[in-house]
């Protein structure tokens, strides 16, 4: 079980952005340089973030991206949802009718994975972008 780069980079890029946001739009080029993330990959990610109304784009020279909400209101859940980072512990849930093994009953551990998913998602729901920025500023002092 591990996190994918897409999700990790999305969060990193947004933390970077959130730190400069109140001044000017931040260009992906800058984020790419500062965070060491491929520009092309960032574009893919930000395309999704924009569609999910987490950021706004500003075109033209001196353009870039700005947050679409306050950092406090952007939770990790929102970010992961936007870039299709899913916490998926188990297959069983896709098929609505059938049970987990193609059998009619739930698998022995069905409830467990449910609990685990909730446990992880709670963590993501509580944590906001603001928390991360703060955490970072404290470390820099």
Partner DNA sequence: ATGATACTTGACTATTTTAGTCAGGTTTAT
Partner DNA sequence: ATAAACCTGACTAAAATAGTCAAGTATCAT
* Closest to a copy of itself by CB, 53 or 135: 135
Is the CB of residue 110 less than 8 Å from the CB of residue 92? yes
DSSP string, 50-71: HHTTSEEEE-STT-EEEESS-G
Residue 95 CA to residue 102 CA, distance in Å, equals 9
DSSP classification of residue 73: G
Residue 52 interacting with DNA (CB under 7 A): no
Residue 35 interacting with DNA (CB under 7 A): no
* Closest to DNA by CB, 72 or 106: 106
Q: How far is the CB of 36 from a copy of itself (least distance, A)?
A: 4
Residue 141 interacting with a copy of itself (CB under 8 A): no
Residue 58 interacting with a copy of itself (CB under 8 A): no
* Closest to DNA by CB, 64 or 128: 64
Which residue bears the tokens 């859940």? 77
Residue 24 interacting with DNA (CB under 7 A): no
Nearest to 34 by CA among 49, 19, 16, 22: 16
Sign of CA dihedral 20, 2, 79, 131: negative
The footprint of a copy of itself (CB under 8 A) covers 1-4, 7-8, 11-12, 15-16, 35-36, 85-90, 101-103, 106-109, 111-113, 115-116, 119-120, 123, 127, 132, 135-136, 139
């Amino acid at each position: 079980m591990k996190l994918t780069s897409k999700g990790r980079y999305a969060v990193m890029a947004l933390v970077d952005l959130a730190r400069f946001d109140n001044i000017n739009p931040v260009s992906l080029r800058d984020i790419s340089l500062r965070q060491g993330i491929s520009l092309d990959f960032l574009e893919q990610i930000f395309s999704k973030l924009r569609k999910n109304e987490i950021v706004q784009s500003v075109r033209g020279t001196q353009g870039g991206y700005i947050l679409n909400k306050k950092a406090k209101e952007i939770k990790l859940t929102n970010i992961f949802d936007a870039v299709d980072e899913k916490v998926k512990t188990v297959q069983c849930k896709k098929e609505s009718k059938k049970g987990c093994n193609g059998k009619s009953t739930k698998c022995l551990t069905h409830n467990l994975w449910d609990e685990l998913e909730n446990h992880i998602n709670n963590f993501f729901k509580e944590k906001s972008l603001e928390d991360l920025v703060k955490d970072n500023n404290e470390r820099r002092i």
